[in-house]
Amino acid sequence: MQVRAIPTLPTQPPKKRRSTRLICIIVLLCLVLLSVLFFRSPISKVNDLRFVGNTMAAKEQLSEASGLKSGSPYFFMSEEKIKEAIISSYPFIQSVQMEKHFPGKVTVYVKEYETVAYELKSDGQVEACLENGSVVLLKQEKQLVLEKPLLTNWSDPNGDAVKKQLSTSLAAIPEGLLADISEIKYDPSDSFNDRIKIYTRSGFEVITTVSMLPDKIAYLSGIVETQEPGRITMLQADSYISYTNLSKENADE
C-alpha cells in the first residue's frame, strides 16, 4: 500500500510584522513632515537679537558684519564664524560671547578694548586711542566727556607708530594716575624721537619718552603723590624741581 505524503501549506508572513513596518514608515514620514514644518516656522528663527557692551559700533553694524539678524536660523548658526567676523571687522573689539535661549532669543556680549587716550584732529573730530594700539573715530554723540588724556601735536609722520606704542604703555598706568593726566604732547628731539610732554590735572609737567614711560611709572607716581606741583624729567636720569624753585632759578639767571 502506497502512502501519500500530505503537501505542506505555504508559510504566510505574520501580519503583525507587516503592521509594525507600516507603522514605522508612517511615524518616520510624520517626523520628516514635522521637521520640515518646524524649520520653516518662525519658532526656529532668531526673533530677539540683542548686542550688549558695544559703544563704538551700532547694533546694525555688528549685525551686518556677522550676518546675524532677526530671521536667521536659530539652530544652524556657526558661533565661531560669527565671533571671527565681528572681531575681524572691528579691531577695537577684544572678545565676543554668544548666549542662546530657546525660542529665538540670542544675546551677543561684546567686550571692547579700553580707551586710554583721545586725540583731537585738525578737523575737530575726536579719535579714541585704545589699549591695543588701534584708533577709532568717535561718533558725535560720544564726544561728551574726555576723562582720559588728550593727545596733541601728533601730526608728525613718525607720530602714528609712537602713538601706538604709547597706547599700550598707558594701559599699564594705574587708573588714578591715568585719570590725572590731562594732556600728552608729542615733542621729539634729536636725541629722543619718541619724547613726550605730559601735563597733569594736579599741576605737574613731565618730560619723558614713550619707551621709558613703563619703567618710570613708579617714580612718577611717588613724586605726584608726595610733592608740590613742578617739573619732572624722566630721561636717562630722573629729576624733579618744584615750580617755586624753578621760578627762583629763572629769577637768578
Question: What is the spatial distance between Cα 149 and Cα 185, in angstroms, rounded to a whole number?
Answer: 10
Cell of 46: 532668531
Domain boundaries, the chain: 43-112, 115-252
Whether CATH 1.10.357.10 fits 115-252: no
Q: Is 90 exceeded by the pLDDT of residue 72?
A: no
Cell of 118: 583721545
Question: What is the spatial distance between Cα 58 and Cα 56, in angstroms, rounded to a whole number?
Answer: 7
pLDDT at 35: 64
> 3-state SS of the chain?
CCCCCCCCCCCCCCHHHHHHHHHHHHHHHHHHHHHHHHHCCHHHECCEEEEECCCCCCHHHHHHHHCCCCCCECCCCCHHHHHHHHHHHCCCEEEEEEEEECCCEEEEEEEECCEEEEEECCCCCEEEEECCCCEEECCHHHCCCCCCCEEECCCCCCHHHHHHHHHHHHCCCCHHHHHHEEEEEECCCCCCCCEEEEEECCCCEEEEECCCHHHHHHHHHHHHHHCCCEEEEECCCEEEEEHHHHHHHHHHC
Percent over 90 (pLDDT), the chain: 47
**Contact call for residues 194 and 188 (beta carbons, < 8 A):** yes
Question: What is the spatial distance between Cα 65 and Cα 161, in angstroms, rounded to a whole number?
Answer: 28
Q: Is 90 exceeded by the pLDDT of residue 18?
A: no
pLDDT at 111: 95
Q: Is 80 exceeded by the pLDDT of residue 4?
A: no
This prediction's pTM: 0.74
Q: Is 80 exceeded by the pLDDT of residue 221?
A: yes
Query: How many CA within 13 A on the CB side of residue 94?
Result: 11
pLDDT at 246: 85
Q: Any idea which fold 43-112 has?
A: Ubiquitin-like (UB roll) (3.10.20)
Identity (one letter) of the amino acid at 116? V
Q: Is 80 exceeded by the pLDDT of residue 16?
A: no
Looking up cell 564664524, which residue turns up? 81
Question: What is the spatial distance between Cα 67 and Cα 78, in angstroms, rounded to a whole number?
Answer: 11
Confidence of residue 137 (pLDDT cuts 50, 70, 90): confident
